[in-house]
Amino acid sequence: MTLALPALMAAGCASASSTPPTTSSVDGTSGGTCSASQFVSRVTSGGSEANQPWLIIEVTNHGPWCSIEGYPRIIAATGHSLQGPNQPLSISVSDGPDYEHPDPGPHSLSLPRGASASFAVGTNTASATNYILTSMTVALPGSRGSRRVPVHTGASAFAGKPVRMEVTALVKGSKGPPAF
C-alpha cells in the first residue's frame, strides 16, 4: 500500500557520473551541460511501502536548453531524532533502485527552458534510531553547484552508522521512475 506524503527525504553522497557531451535537440538548438544554478528543486510526491519511505524530487530548468545524464548526488542532509534538535546527519547514498522504484540507469536528457527531470530517493524506518529528515543538498551530474531542498520524511540508522539511501538516475518529467 502506498501512502501519500508531501515530504522529501534526504541525504547521502551518490557516485559522480561523467559529464555528457553537448547535444543537439530535434529542432537543432544546441545545449551544454546543465548547471545547478539554472534549476529549481522540489518534492512532487512520496510514500512508504513496508517501512521503506520514498520521495520523488523534481528539478525544473529555468535556464537555457541543456543536457544532463546520470545520477544526482545527495551531498548533505539535516534532520533530528524524534525528540532532538535539527542537525547535520551522517549519510550514505547508493545509486540504484529503492524499494518502490526501479533504476532506469543513466541516459542523456535534453531539457529546454521550463522542462523537468526527476528522480526517486528511498530509505528505511526499520533500523534502531529514527529520524525526521528536514533538508537535503542535491548536486546535478556534471555540475559544481548544489541546491538545498526542504524535506520532511522518516529515516533511520543503527547506532554509529549513517542513514542509508538509494537514489535513481534522472528521468524526464516530474513523476520519477514508475513504481515496481
Across 134-154, average pLDDT: 93
* Per-residue pLDDT at 141: 93
Which of residues 82 and 70 earns the better pLDDT score? Answer: 70
Give the tens place of pLDDT for each residue, 58-78.
999 999 999 999 999 999 999
Question: Residues 51, 6: contact at Cβ < 8 Å?
Answer: no
pTM value?
A: 0.81
Give the tens place of pLDDT for each residue, 12-28.
333 333 333 333 333 33
CA distances, 31 to each of 22, 36, 108 (Å): 6, 15, 12
All three cell numbers of 61: 530548468
- How sure is the predictor about 36, in pLDDT bands with cuts at 50, 70 and 90? confident
- How sure is the predictor about 91, in pLDDT bands with cuts at 50, 70 and 90? very high
* Residue whose entry in the numeric block shows the C-alpha cell 512532487: 44
Question: Residues 55, 121: contact at Cβ < 8 Å?
Answer: yes
Write the secondary structure of the chain as one string of H (helix), E (strand) and C (coil).
Answer: CCCCCCCCCCCCCCCCCCCCCCEECCCCCEEEECCHHHEEEEEEEEEEECCEEEEEEEEEECCCCEEEECCCEEEEEEEEECCCCCEECCEEEEECCCCCCCCCCCCEEEECCCCEEEEEEECCCCCCEEEEEEEEEEECCCCCCCEEEEEEEEEEECCCCCEEEEECCCEECCCCCCCC
CA distance 123 to 121: 7
All three cell numbers of 57: 524530487
- How sure is the predictor about 32, in pLDDT bands with cuts at 50, 70 and 90? confident
Instruction: Report percent pLDDT > 70 for the chain.
Output: 83
Q: Write down the domain spans for the chain.
A: 23-172
* Per-residue pLDDT at 175: 94
- How sure is the predictor about 7, in pLDDT bands with cuts at 50, 70 and 90? very low
* Per-residue pLDDT at 179: 86
* Per-residue pLDDT at 96: 96
All three cell numbers of 176: 520519477
* Per-residue pLDDT at 83: 85
